[in-house]
């Protein structure tokens, strides 16, 4: 057993022990549905901000996206991270944070599908949203494991990747099932600190390995795999870069596992503080990941043969054993934090928004808790099996499904949720159109990617469906346009009690004050 393996193993064992211990200690907060799903709406700013950030940034970003877009755009890929920080983190907290917290408590909604059902007065919308959430979160969750495979094999040569997937899935399941939302929030905070320290350490080590920042930039511009455009301000493909920024940033506004963090936050002050903390976290983690990936062309990587997932592991393979161990724990932290958020979202959604409304009689709290925990187990098992199957067979269908999941969820939900918080005239019919448009766009994208449909002869469609990044952006922007337009012509489907729903924003509080001095 080499030094890298020993150091990595020690760090991983300590990390897993801490995660499970927190889950066990948090079980008192998971005694009822409200506590299990939302932490009793009493989560402070630091835990909420880190939960948002760690759910946002996973191994997919660190290994997959940072490697792919860093190779394609050079250091200009840093713009993706900054877009994630300001468009994907700062703006959602400012625009959605307070109104989400206030209205969801007023409507007693615990999930995004529950919000749609109550806000638009439709049990059907609630069930449809829950099915979209459940179906598209499975491949999205499976993709989290993929970033681990190459790093895991680098640190533990000869150990089957499946072992890592199974261990990670089991331990994540333990602390989520036992401790619920509060366990995930506390663990997310610790995992977030590891991510912050880890990404800074890796960037410094990689730059030092290449003679410092200026020497690395020179090598990027003049190297065998590089060129001046990879060291430039906007990179070689500015338009494609813009689409990547928009999809990876705007998407958070409509993803159930992201918006759900606003449901659970404690109070007004926590939202203000959480906004600053979350933005700072995103600048360091997302900006750092893409900045790091921008130097991938300094290394001899055969992308054609090994794919973009080989870029980051190749960069790290020359670093000291301790740094490699930290990176493995960093990627585990990123993966487990996002995984815990996704499985909790999926399990609660399928139970509270699909099974409970269809039950013949009211479910007890105990029964809901049991079913939620059971579905969390099912969700973890299915996603782990898909991830292992994908890694071993390179199944094209699974890979493409992972690519469209983000676009389908955000495309379907972003507009109805945003307008539902701000625009009283938003109608049930408009929400149906948004659901159909968002999911439909990505299903068409999937068919094109798999070769089942050819639109190459139609220039406009060929551009829109160039890949899942492009179609995902058009799905979200299209929903933002369609929802108000459809609402204007379908006012008969507007809920009758919408004015009462919006009264929650007009509540006033009277407090006594003392003027010590007059004029």
Cα–Cα separations (whole angstroms), residue 418 to 36, 84, 335, 408, 479? 26, 18, 28, 16, 11
H/E segment holding residue 333: helix 321-349
More confident residue, 3 or 214: 214
User: Domains of the chain by range and CATH?
Assistant: 3-392 (1.20.1730.10), 395-505 (no CATH)
Digit-coded pLDDT (tens) for 192-202:
888 888 889 88
Site of tokens 């890592």:
164
Of the ranges 38-42, 47-51, 432-436, which is most confident? Answer: 432-436
Residues 6+ apart with CB under 8 A from 28: none
- pLDDT value for 267: 84
For 119-133, the pLDDT digits (tens) are: 999 999 999 999 999
Question: Which segment, 19-23, 127-131, 173-177, 513-517, is predicted with the most confidence on average?
Answer: 127-131
DSSP 228-254: GGGGSSS-S-HHHHHHHHHHHHHGGGG
**Rounded distance, CA 452 to CA 97, Å?**
41
Q: Would you report the helix, strand and coil content of the chain in percent, each value rounded to 5?
A: 80, 0, 20
- The whole-number average pLDDT for the span 405-422 is 93
Distance CA 169, CA 163 (A): 10
CB distance 145 to 448 below 8 Å? no
Q: Are 504 and 103 in contact (CB under 8 A)?
A: yes
Q: Quick one: angle between helices 161-209 and 213-222, nearest 10?
A: 100
Residue 278 has pLDDT above 90, yes or no: yes
pLDDT in tens, 161-178: 787 788 888 888 888 888
pLDDT of 399 > 80? The answer is no
Q: What is the arithmetic mean of pLDDT over 259-285?
A: 91
Residue with tokens 């991983």: 12
Please give the pLDDT value at position 75: 92
- State the Cα–Cα distance between residues 133 and 254, nearest whole angstrom: 11
pLDDT tier for residue 227 given thresholds of 50, 70 and 90: confident
Distance, in Å, from the CA atom of 275 to the CA atom of 278, rounded to the nearest integer, reads 5
Taking the C-alpha atoms of residue 518 and residue 94, their distance in angstroms, rounded to an integer, is 37
Assign 138 a pLDDT band (cuts: 50, 70, 90): confident
Percent of all residues in the chain with a pLDDT value above 70, rounded to a whole number? 92
Q: How confident is the model at residue 57 (pLDDT cuts 50, 70, 90)?
A: confident
Statement: residue 305 has pLDDT above 80: no
- 148: pLDDT confidence band, cut at 50, 70 and 90? low
Q: What is the mean pLDDT of residues 337-365?
A: 85
Please state, as a whole number, how many other Cβ atoms lie within 10 Å of the Cβ of residue 443. 13
pLDDT confidence tier of residue 509, bands split at 50, 70 and 90: low
The two tokens of residue 3 are 């030094």
Which sign, positive or negative, has the C-alpha torsion 133, 139, 145, 146? Answer: negative
Q: Report which of residues 291 and 158 the model is more confident about.
A: 291
Query: Could you tell me the pTM of the whole model?
Result: 0.86
Give pLDDT, residue 379.
87
Q: What is the pLDDT of residue 153?
A: 63
The confidence score (pLDDT) of residue 156 equals 66
């Amino acid at each position: 057993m080499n030094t890298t393996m020993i150091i990595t193993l020690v760090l991983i064992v300590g990390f897993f022990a801490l995660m499970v211990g927190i889950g066990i200690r948090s079980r008192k907060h998971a005694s009822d549905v409200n506590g299990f799903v939302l932490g009793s709406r009493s989560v402070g700013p630091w835990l909420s901000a880190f939960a948002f950030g760690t759910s946002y940034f996973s191994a997919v970003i660190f290994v997959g996206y940072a490697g792919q877009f860093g190779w394609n755009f050079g250091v200009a890929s840093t713009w993706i991270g900054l877009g994630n920080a300001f468009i994907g983190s700062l703006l959602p907290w400012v625009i959605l944070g307070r109104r989400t917290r206030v209205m969801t408590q007023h409507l007693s909604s615990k999930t995004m599908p529950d919000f749609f059902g109550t806000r638009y007065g439709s049990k059907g919308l609630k069930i449809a949203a829950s099915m979209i959430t459940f179906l598209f979160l499975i491949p999205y969750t499976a993709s989290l494991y993929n970033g681990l495979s190459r790093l895991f094999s680098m640190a533990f040569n000869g150990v089957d990747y499946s072992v890592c997937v199974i261990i990670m899935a089991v331990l994540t399941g333990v602390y989520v099932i036992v401790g619920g939302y509060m366990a995930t929030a506390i663990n997310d905070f610790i995992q977030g600190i590891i991510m912050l320290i880890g990404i800074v350490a890796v960037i410094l080590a990689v730059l030092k390995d290449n003679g410092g920042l200026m020497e690395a930039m020179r090598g990027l511009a003049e190297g065998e795999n590089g060129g001046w455009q990879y060291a430039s301000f906007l990179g070689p493909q500015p338009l494609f870069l813009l689409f990547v920024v928009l999809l990876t940033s705007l998407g958070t506004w409509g993803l159930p596992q992201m918006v759900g963090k606003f449901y659970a936050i404690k109070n007004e002050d926590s939202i203000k503080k959480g906004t600053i903390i979350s933005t700072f976290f995103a600048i360091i983690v997302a900006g750092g990941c893409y900045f790091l990936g921008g130097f991938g062309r300094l290394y001899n990587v055969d992308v054609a043969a090994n794919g973009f997932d080989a870029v980051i592991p190749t960069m790290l393979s020359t670093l000291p054993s301790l740094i490699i161990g930290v990176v493995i724990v960093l990627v585990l932290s990123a993966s487990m934090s996002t995984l815990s958020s996704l499985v909790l979202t999926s399990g609660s959604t399928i139970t509270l928004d699909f099974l409970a409304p269809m039950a013949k009689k009211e479910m007890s709290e105990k029964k809901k808790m049991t079913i939620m925990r059971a579905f969390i187990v099912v969700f973890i098992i299915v996603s782990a099996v898909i991830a292992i199957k994908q890694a071993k067979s390179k199944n094209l269908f699974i890979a493409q499904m992972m690519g469209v999941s983000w676009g389908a969820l955000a495309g379907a939900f972003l507009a109805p949720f945003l307008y539902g918080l701000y625009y009283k005239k938003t109608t049930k019919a408009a929400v149906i159109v948004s659901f159909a448009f968002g999911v439909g766009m990505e299903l068409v994208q999937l068919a094109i990617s798999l070769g089942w449909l050819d639109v190459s002869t139609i220039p406009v469609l060929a551009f829109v469906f160039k890949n899942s990044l492009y179609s995902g952006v058009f799905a979200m922007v299209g929903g933002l346009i369609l929802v108000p337009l459809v609402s204007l012509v379908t006012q008969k489907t507007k809920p009758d009690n919408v004015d009462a729903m919006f009264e929650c924003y007009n509540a006033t509080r009277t407090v006594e004050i003392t003027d010590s001095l007059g004029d």
